[in-house]
């Protein structure tokens, strides 16, 4: 028998009502809901084996350490990292990118460039601005086309011998564009640049293999992948991580400390100062296990078809304009409606129990390039159904009557 594609029952929150209506959750690009197994794993840790990890000789600490390191191995395997020592636990994508920006500081100076795109999330823009302010390097952004894709001609024109780092999103959170990262990584490496990929929106929807991509760093967040908030991961090539200075100083990241001098711990602990988010890491591992038990291929196909259905139905509503028209898209449907601000539509949909996000989606330069104040964004995940599409379309039609 074919496995059921309705997994919504695994997510307790999806059974609740909002404003007197069944919840239609279409904000998974902001954060995904959590399956019961993830919630249970976190509860189990606190109820059964809460202890600080590493450096302790008692049973609870050993259990907690084993559970956390097991989670690290699972997360590393999920993205094809060759070795769990290349997988640093962070607070999320934002911290992963800031970590790289902080640790690369010594490699930059006047005349060097960081290349990004106009499509980036603010967390893949501002850390590079700060790096440039510290070092005198320059930040350059390659253009986005009016249809919402990276302008590859402009990318190749801007990539050059001064480019020391290329930092790009794998998937746009605002539009859902899947960027041609493999081609861009190869081109950047030919110029001798390092490459960081912001994978926040990619890991749930694509099979990511950092080994095959060949990127130097890959940052992502557990909460966009059915895991808890406050935990994420940064992949980095071991040889490179070995060369970099530590990020923060404190316990755990050291091998030996004297007042005059400190030697650092081995990877990945050199980059994990202080008590880590142990419960979060364990919840992250449980989310990876959960994903591994799903008929992922079939679920992703269904999700893609829901996204296409939503686009084709919304397009037929007079006054609705889709934002972004491109070859490869996942999860996100961004649109505008004539005669009303996106925020008004967000409120009118919320009154019908439909959760979408409105505004600039932390991508102000992209909105500026597209000449719009923001969008209404419906973002899908593996637990959404055709009913969610029907409710969204009916909800937009009803909202239009009010404005
Ligand atoms: N990059 C992208 C593309 C994102 O969508 C997000 C989250 N919206 C981030 C980075 C930042 O992720 P976090 O807030 O989990 O650190």
pLDDT in tens, 6-32: 999 999 999 999 999 999 999 999 999
pTM above 0.95, yes or no: yes
Is the CB of 221 within 6 Å of ligand 1? yes
Rounded Cα gap, residues 98 and 285, in angstroms: 23
The answer to whether the CB of 241 falls within 8 A of the CB of 297 is no
Is the CB of 24 within 6 Å of ligand 1? no
Count the helix, strand and coil residues of the chain and give each as a percent rounded to the nearest 5. 40, 20, 40
DSSP bridge pairs for 177:
329
Q: Which segments in the chain show pLDDT lower than 70?
A: 1-2
Q: Which atom of ligand 1 is nearest to the CA of 95?
A: 16
Catalytic residues: 362
325 CA distance to ligand 1 centroid (A)? Answer: 22
Is the CB of 94 within 6 Å of ligand 1? yes
- pLDDT at residue 327 in the model: 84
- pLDDT at residue 2 in the model: 66
Is the CB of 93 within 6 Å of ligand 1? yes
Supply 364's token pair: 């102000």
Is the CB of 377 within 6 Å of ligand 1? no
From 41, 35, 385, 87, select the one nearest 236 (Cα to Cα).
87
Query: In this structure, which residue's CA is closest to atom 6 in ligand 1?
Result: 200
338 CA distance to ligand 1 centroid (A)? Answer: 29
- pLDDT at residue 235 in the model: 99
57 CA distance to ligand 1 centroid (A)? Answer: 38
29 CA distance to ligand 1 centroid (A)? Answer: 9
Is the CB of 201 within 6 Å of ligand 1? yes
Peptide bond into 130 cis (omega under 30): no
Q: Which atom of ligand 1 is nearest to the CA of 93?
A: 16
- pLDDT at residue 95 in the model: 98
Is the CB of 123 within 6 Å of ligand 1? yes
The answer to whether the CB of 358 falls within 8 A of the CB of 375 is yes
φ/ψ region of 137 (left if φ > 0, alpha if ψ in -120 to 50, else beta) reads: beta
Supply 145's token pair: 């086309």
- pLDDT at residue 349 in the model: 98
207 CA distance to ligand 1 centroid (A)? Answer: 18
The answer to whether the CB of 396 falls within 8 A of the CB of 354 is no
Q: What is the 8-class DSSP label of residue 265?
A: P
């Amino acid at each position: 028998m074919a496995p059921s594609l309705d997994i919504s029952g695994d997510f307790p929150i999806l059974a609740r009502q909002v404003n007197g209506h069944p919840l239609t959750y279409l904000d998974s690009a902001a954060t995904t809901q959590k399956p019961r197994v993830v919630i249970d794993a976190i509860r189990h840790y606190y109820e059964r084996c809460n202890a600080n990890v590493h450096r302790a000789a008692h049973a609870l600490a050993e259990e907690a350490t084993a559970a956390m390191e097991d989670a690290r191995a699972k997360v590393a395997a999920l993205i094809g990292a060759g070795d769990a020592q290349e997988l640093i636990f962070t607070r999320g994508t934002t911290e992963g990118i800031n970590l790289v920006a902080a640790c690369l500081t010594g490699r930059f100076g006047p005349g060097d460039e960081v290349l990004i795109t106009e499509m980036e999330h603010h967390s893949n823009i501002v850390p590079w601005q700060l790096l440039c302010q510290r070092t005198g390097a320059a930040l350059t952004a390659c253009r986005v086309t009016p249809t919402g894709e990276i302008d590859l001609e402009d990318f190749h024109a801007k990539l050059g011998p001064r480019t020391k780092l290329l930092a790009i999103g794998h998937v746009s959170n605002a539009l859902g564009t899947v960027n041609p990262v493999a081609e861009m990584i190869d081109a950047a490496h030919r110029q001798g640049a390092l490459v960081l990929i912001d994978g926040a929106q990619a890991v749930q929807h694509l099979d990511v293999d950092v080994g095959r991509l060949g990127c130097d760093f890959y940052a992502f967040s557990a909460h966009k992948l059915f895991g808890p908030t406050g935990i994420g991961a940064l992949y980095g090539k071991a040889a490179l991580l070995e060369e970099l200075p530590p990020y923060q100083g404190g316990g755990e990241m050291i091998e030996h400390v004297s007042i005059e001098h400190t030697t650092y711990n081995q990877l990945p602990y050199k980059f994990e100062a202080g008590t880590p988010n142990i419960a979060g890491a364990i919840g992250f591992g449980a989310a990876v296990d959960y994903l591994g038990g799903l008929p992922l291929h079939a679920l992703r196909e269904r999700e893609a078809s829901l996204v296409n259905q939503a686009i084709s139905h919304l397009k037929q509503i007079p006054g609705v304009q889709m934002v972004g028209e491109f070859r490869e898209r996942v999860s996100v449907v961004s649109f505008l409606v004539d005669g009303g601000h996106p925020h008004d539509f967000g409120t009118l949909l919320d009154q019908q129990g439909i959760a979408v996000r409105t505004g600039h989606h932390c991508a102000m330069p992209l909105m500026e390039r597209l000449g719009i104040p923001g969008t209404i964004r419906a973002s899908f995940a593996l637990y959404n159904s055709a009913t969610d599409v029907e409710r969204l379309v009916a909800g937009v039609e009803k909202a239009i009557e009010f404005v």
